Structure formats: C-alpha cells, structure tokens
C-alpha cells in the first residue's frame, strides 16, 4: 500500500479542504478538477486580492472584457460579470461534492464590494442581487464580520442566503459573527421557516505573526496565529454544544462551521504547512492558498487534532496580554487593515481593468 497523502488524512479526520484561489486557467486546464478528484479539495474561496491578481495577471479575461465593453458594461459591474462567470463554473464543478455531502461542502464564495464595509443597507442589497444573479445553490456571499457587517449577516441568514463571514481575527470577533448567524436562524425558526441555511466563519491566522512578533519576547514569537485558531475552536465547540444551538439543531439547523483562513506562512524560515498541521480540527474547514495546498499534499504531516478546551491557546493569549499585547486591540487593527487591503486591491483591479479596457477600444 502506498503512503496516504496528508490531504486525504486531513479530510478523513474531519476537516474540509478548500482552495483559496480562482483563475480562469485553473478552470480551463482541469487543475480544479484534479484538485477535486485527487487532492480531497471540496470547496473554493476567493477575495478581491485573488481576483485582482487573476484578472490583471493574464490575458485570459480579455475576450470577455471586450465583449462586455461593447455592451456598455464597465467598472464594478464588469468585474462582477467576470467573477460570476468564473464562480458559476467552479460551483458547477463542485456540484457533485455539494450533493454527496448533503450541502455541507462543495461551496464557492463571492465577496461583496469591499467599498461597502461600512454600509449595512447596501451590503444587504448587493448580496441579495449577486446571489440571485449567480443562481447557484452552492454559492456563499462573503460579508466582512465588521460591526457594520454583523447586521447584514443576520439579515441575509434570515432571508435564507448563505454567508461566508470574512475578516475575523479573534474569538471575540468570531463569536459576534456566530451570534449574528444564530439570530438570523432564530428569526426563521419563529416563522416556521427551514433552518438549513449554511454558513462559515473565516478566521484569519497568519497575519497575526507580523502584527505580534515585534511586540512580544522570543518565547511568544510565531505562536499567536496558532493560539488564535485554538481559542476560536474552543469557542466554536462550546457554542455549538450550548442549549441555544441545540434548540435550533432540533429544528434542523447545522453549525456555522469555523474556517481557518490565511493559512500560508509568510516567514520563509517557518515550515510551509505549519498552520495546516497545527490547526487540523474536526468539523471545520481550512482554505489553503495553492502553494500551501501543494506543500501539504507533497510533504505535510498530520500530528493530531485541536482540543475542544483550546489546548495551549488560552495560556498563550494570556501570556501575550501579560506583556502588554492586547488581543482585542490587535484583532481590531488586523480587521481594519484587512478591510483596507481589500479596498486597495479592489481599486487597483478596477483601475487596471479600466486601463486595459481603454487600450482595447483604441
């Protein structure tokens, strides 16, 4: 018998592997199909930075851009046409997974405009419109878990639209997102509506090290991201064992799954699949950038699963607090920086599309 792939072992252990990337060539060349059939990949995520690189880094989108321009479609509307074209094809590629897993996996994600991060009403309106336009049962709409995003998450859940909550950086932020999801389900339950509205809550991991390492002694360096993941899993396990959720589960609800995001290591001196190995956890998701997926597939290791009591996470976060590194303050900064980074990528992408468009019509 050949040695089992680490990706297969991770899947068997109960963590769903999603790939954090989409390009038109990934769809056209069969690479995504290869990931699905041989690499245990059961979902896909995207964000403004990923699309900015995909659209401006190749000529694959030029024919459709030209076609849309000829119809008078430009700017943000043009981008969403490009993105939905890709994501509906990806959703169709995952249709078998979605059906086989009863709707637990097989999802793809489309993010609302990051320019709407502080506009609850328009976020809801755009999310509803994008969900209807894509018209796929396995499409998540990504909404940031910012204070302004939380009411949108509740309202969209209430309306039966599946949400991937993004830009979460701490147990406190995670629990706020989970609370919004449960409030949406509770409103549906009062009206006798189906509670089968899937959701995930995406906690960003690797950005913690860059934020925290300069502020802590050597003994705490490169430990904050894993500790955040451990403590979020502890909160996740406790919430979905609570009376509040069990009452909803009895009516057909399923947990909003915890998703480990940003799991590539930014420091080349660290093992390239460090976060994947450390944050393996049952009934969760890990969405990996392609390079991390390749690394884990090639030489990754399984070393056990996260504990529901948080393992070493609580003591690590307590030690950070003791040396003056506030978890909540850092998480807020990271969330604000993440939102700003998506806005920057969004504006750069629209500017490059505009430039490319101008060149095409000359």
- Residue 163: closest CA among 182, 138, 142: 142
Candidate list 142, 210, 211, 362, residue with the active-site label? 142
Task: Tell the residue number behind the tokens 């209430």, with chain if given.
Answer: 158
Is 313 in contact with 229 (CB distance < 8 Å)?
yes
Q: Give the separation between CA 106 and CA 312, rounded to whole angstroms.
A: 32
DSSP 214: G
Rounded to whole angstroms, what are the CA distances from 234 to 14, 229, 279? Answer: 16, 9, 12
Q: Active-site residue 142, yes or no?
A: yes
Long-range contacts, 12-16 (Cβ 8 Å, 24+): 13/280, 13/282, 13/302, 13/305, 14/281, 14/282, 14/283, 14/284, 14/305, 15/280, 15/281, 15/282, 15/283, 15/284, 15/285, 15/286, 16/42, 16/43, 16/104, 16/105, 16/257, 16/284, 16/285, 16/286
Q: Give the separation between CA 113 and CA 76, rounded to whole angstroms.
A: 8
Catalytic positions, written as ranges? 142
């Amino acid at each position: 018998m050949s040695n089992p792939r680490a990706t297969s072992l991770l899947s068997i252990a109960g963590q769903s592997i999603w790939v954090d990337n989409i390009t038109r060539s990934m769809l056209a060349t069969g690479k995504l199909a290869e990931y699905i059939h041989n690499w245990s990949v059961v979902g896909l995520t995207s964000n403004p930075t990923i699309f900015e690189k995909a659209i401006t880094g190749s000529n694959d989108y030029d024919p459709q851009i030209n076609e849309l321009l000829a119809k008078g479609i430009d700017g943000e509307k043009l981008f969403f046409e490009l993105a939905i074209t890709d994501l509906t094809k990806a959703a169709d590629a995952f249709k078998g997974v979605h059906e086989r897993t009863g709707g637990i996996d097989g999802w793809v994600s489309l993010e609302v405009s990051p320019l709407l991060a502080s506009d609850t009403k328009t976020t809801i309106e755009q999310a509803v419109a994008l969900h209807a336009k894509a018209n796929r049962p396995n499409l998540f709409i990504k909404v940031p878990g910012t204070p302004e995003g939380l009411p949108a998450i509740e309202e969209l859940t209430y309306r039966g639209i599946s949400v991937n909550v993004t830009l979460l950086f701490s147990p406190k932020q995670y629990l706020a997102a989970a609370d919004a999801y449960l409030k949406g389900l509770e409103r549906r339950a009062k009206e006798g509506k189906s509670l089968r509205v899937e959701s995930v809550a995406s906690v960003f991991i690797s950005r913690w090290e860059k934020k925290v390492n300069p502020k802590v002694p050597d003994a705490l360096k490169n430990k904050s991201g894993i500790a955040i993941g451990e403590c979020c899993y502890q909160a996740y396990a406790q919430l979905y064992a609570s009376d509040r959720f069990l009452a909803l589960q009895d009516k057909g609800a399923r947990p909003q799954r915890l998703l480990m995001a940003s799991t590539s290591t930014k420091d080349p001196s660290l093992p390239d699949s460090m976060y994947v190995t450390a944050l393996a956890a049952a009934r969760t998701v890990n969405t990996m950038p392609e390079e991390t997926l390749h690394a884990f597939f090639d030489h990754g290791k399984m070393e056990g699963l996260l504990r529901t009591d948080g393992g070493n996470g609580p003591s690590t976060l307590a030690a950070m607090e003791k040396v003056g590194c506030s978890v909540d303050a850092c998480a807020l900064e990271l969330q604000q920086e993440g939102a700003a980074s998506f806005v920057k990528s969004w504006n750069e992408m629209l500017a490059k599309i505009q430039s490319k468009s101008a060149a095409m019509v000359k």
